[in-house]
Structure 1
Amino acid sequence: MNAHHPLQRLASPARSASFVLHLAGICSFLASFAYLHIFPQLPADSVGGDFQFLTILGLALSLATFAVGYAADLSLSRPLFETKNFLAVCVTPLEVLISVLYWSLCTIDRDLVYPPEFEGGLPLLPDIGFHLAPALFLTADLLLFSPPWTIRVQEAMILSLCIAFFYWAWVEYCFSYNGFYPYPIFQLLKTQQRVFLFAFSAVLMTGSTVVLKRLYHFLNGGIPSGTKED
């Protein structure tokens, strides 16, 4: 097996700690999907179903990322490991964004993310499974079992804008059939305000990419790419 990147803290792909982390993440994500199957949050016959939620789209991407990482650990495949790292560059900042937005909005007013019929929101354990665990698992994978990211700020902003406005288009498509938005905050905002919200979310996601890169180099050494020291 090839030696890992000199800044990568622990061996991966590997049938050791990396294997355990990816398996634990997969179990957590599957448990969240099992909860969603038992307690769906949106009508099953609505276009998009629960996949209208950014949280659920992010959870599916997290599951795919860790499934590829788990397969890489089992097979010790470098191509699969590189695929996992490519996916993580997109998914990890997204999950950090989801956690930041969700817990911030809940602190302000839970009615912004939960309709009136879901008074009190989710129980604590499922709430953590949906809105915190993916960000923690993916961040741990980055800091311990991944080489440093090479994506630059401009590239991260383009990627974030693409993800943000793809989600906006998806939400509006579902709304055109269902007549409701998955999050009450979307219903409260005018079109121009929703544009600002999605653009602001793209900026936050770009910021999470930058913070994650700097945290990686703070803990593991080296200089982040895209800085003046390059």
Structure 2
Amino acid sequence: MSSKTAPTTSPRHPLQRYESPSKGFSGALHVVGLISFYHAFKFLVDNPNQFNDSFGWHLQFLTILGISISTACFLLGLAADILNSAPLFVAKNYIALVAAPIEIVISILYWGLRAIDTALVVPPDLPLPPLIYDLCFHFFPALFTSIDVILLSPPWPTSPMNPQAPLIMLALSTGIAFLYWFWIEICFSYNGFYPYPIFALLTTYQRIGLFAVSGSIMWVVGGALRALYAWVNGYESVEELEKAKRARKMGEAGKWE
């Protein structure tokens, strides 16, 4: 009797570390992440300030925009886990291309600027949130989305990875940075103040420079995530992908290679 085992029929990418979508670790991570995001939003509602009634609400803050993107990402991920839906899983992975890098950038900028001077990122009339909520805003989203990308996702939403991935991420990062600049200037025109005090300290050209640097950091972070993914899970090769496809087809047909 042959000692060979039947190849897997799982649609999981051969480099993906853990099964996802699934109701196991993947589902648990998405539930925990969504609970964290919920408490962040609940804190904003339970502790109103001038931003609650201003144009743009708290979505003037890059932090809250990031959590909103991460929430959409994890809602799709959880729906994919529950329904075992490949299209929802792919949609989650596309949003994760933005969610994980932007959350890491938010953490880097927030904690970095806070180390220099808290007044650069926290308006003077607003108290700092309790530490657990500060982490819900500025640490846990980066942690959860990074775990999702590294352990529960393929190296790229499509397979094989788009050879233009670095250029795509550069354009995406730059576009997001300047869209945010455009957005906060609209909010400023209505409210007369910026969400982050550092913006008021800079000239227009200095703000442009800040957003250009932020976009560059996001691009570098995206590249670092892909490098970390390869270090943890391995590099994608056409040969391995073809072998995995053959294995799935033979497994579905009840054959052995």
TM-score by length of 1: 0.94
The one-letter code of the counterpart of 1:173 is: I
Q: Output the amino acid matched with 2:186.
A: Y
Asked if 1:137 is matched to 2:111, the reply is no
User: 1:170 aligns to what?
Assistant: 183
**Which among 102, 117, 136 is matched to residue 109 of structure 1?**
117
* Conservation of the 8 A alpha-carbon contact between 2:73 and 2:95: yes
Structure 1 residues 57-89: Cα deviation after superposition (integer angstroms, max 9, x where no partner): 100110010000000000000000000000000
Q: What is the CA–CA distance in structure 2 between the aligned matches of 1:33 and 1:7, rounded to whole Å?
A: 34
Aligned residue-pair number:
223
CA distance in 2, matches of 1:136, 1:94: 12
Q: Which residue in 2 is equivalent to 1:184?
A: 197
- Pair 1:3 & 2:11 matched: yes
Structure 2 equivalent of residue 222 of structure 1: 235
* The one of 63, 77, 85 aligned to 1:55: 63
User: Cα deviation per residue 1:106-135 (whole Å; 9 max; x = unaligned)?
Assistant: 00100000122125x221100000000000
Instruction: Identify unmatched segments of 5+ residues in structure 1.
Output: 225-230
Name the residue aligned to 1:126.
Answer: 133
Between the two proteins, what is the percent identity of the paired residues?
48
Label 1:190 to 1:91 Cα distance change in 2 as closer, same or farther (>3 A): same
Residues 15 and 236 of structure 2 are in contact (CA less than 8 Å); yes or no, is this contact kept in structure 1? no
Matches within 5 A, 1:72-91: 72-91=80-99
Superposed, which structure 2 residues align to 1:86-101 within 5 Å? 86-101=94-109
- Give the whole-Å Cα distance in 2 for the aligned partners of 1:158 and 1:30: 30
Tell me, in whole angstroms, the C-alpha distance in 1 between the residues paired with 2:33 and 2:208.
33
Deviation at 1:223, TM superposition (A): 5.4
Deviates more, 1:164-173 or 1:151-160: 151-160
Alpha-carbon offset, residue 183 of structure 1: 0.3
2:155 partner amino acid: P
* Runs (5+) with no aligned partner, structure 2: 1-8, 238-257
- Report whether the alignment pairs 1:27 with 2:40: no
CA deviation string 1:138-158 (max 9, x = no partner)? 000011110003362211110
Max Rg structure: 2
- The answer on whether the counterparts of 1:40 and 1:50 sit within 8 Å (CA) in structure 2 is no
Q: Secondary structure at the match of 2:99?
A: helix
Match for 1:16: what amino acid? G
> Could you give the per-residue CA deviations for residues 196-226 of structure 1, whole angstroms, max 9, x where no partner exists?
00000000000000000000110111159xx
Instruction: Indicate the residue corresponding to 1:147 in structure 2.
Output: 154
Which residue matches 1:194? 207
TM-score, normalised by the number of residues in structure 2: 0.84
The letter for the 1-side match of 2:54 is S
Structure number with the bigger relative contact order (C-alpha 8 A, sep ≥ 6) is 2
Distance 1:162 1:194 in 2: 15
Cα RMSD over matched residues? 1.3
Aligned residue type for 1:87: I
How many angstroms does 1:179 deviate by? 0.2
Q: Deviations over 1:32-64 (max 9, x none)?
A: 111111113433221001110000010011001
Q: AA paired with 1:180? A: F
Question: Contact 1:92–1:139 (CA<8 Å) still a contact in 2?
Answer: yes
Q: Deviations over 1:153-201 (max 9, x none)?
A: 2111100011001100100000001000000000000000000000000
Q: Counterparts of 1:184 and 1:215 in 2: how far apart (Å)?
A: 34
Q: Is this contact kept in 2: 1:41–1:50, CA < 8 A?
A: no
